[in-house]
Amino acid sequence: MEKVFTLVLVLCISFLILLPLFRRYEDDNWTEDPEPSLNPLERKLRELHLEKENLYSALKEIELDYELGKLSKEDYDTLLNEYKIRAARVLKEIEETAQGWEKDKEGNRVKDVGGQGGVDEIEEEILRVRRSRFSDLKCPDCGKQVRTGDVFCSFCGNRLSEHAKEVSG
């Protein structure tokens, strides 16, 4: 009885291991579409929006690296311009893709949708991030702007005055 049980167990395990090798895939496609219900336009828009968010994150990281002194001014300017151009292209592509049509619940084309975009939108996003991070306070020793709520200056390392902490907090 033990031998039969062992044989059945080995056969089941072998079957499970070999099953993927014998399974047929449509058009040699090994990945399944995560959202097969989306039409190609919606899928492209989602991909473009994801790419836009990734570029915005990269721009924020470039800003942070420059603030922390990890990037020189030249590298900062080069990277910032490169990513702004890429983001502007993505925004333009989003605008062009979504411009003509808005989908209703049945997926019929209903009306035109205008869009604004380009470098101005990116600039506004960058300014908004900068404003949210920094206050009007400056370090009394080095003169650099400090973030709201900072106890120490992130540029020179000196302790900020009690007045600066009270105003920012």
For range 45-57, the mean pLDDT = 90
Q: What is the pLDDT of the chain when averaged over all its residues?
A: 75
Please work out, in degrees rounded to the nearest 5, the angle formed at the alpha carbon of residue 15 by the alpha carbons of 18 and 5.
Answer: 150
For range 55-77, the mean pLDDT = 92
- The answer to whether the beta carbons of residues 15 and 7 sit under 8 Å apart is no
Domain ranges of the chain: 39-98+114-133, 139-169
Among 56-60, 85-89, 138-142, 163-167, the least confident range: 163-167
Residue predicted with more confidence, 126 or 152: 152
Tell me, yes or no, if the pTM score tops 0.75.
no
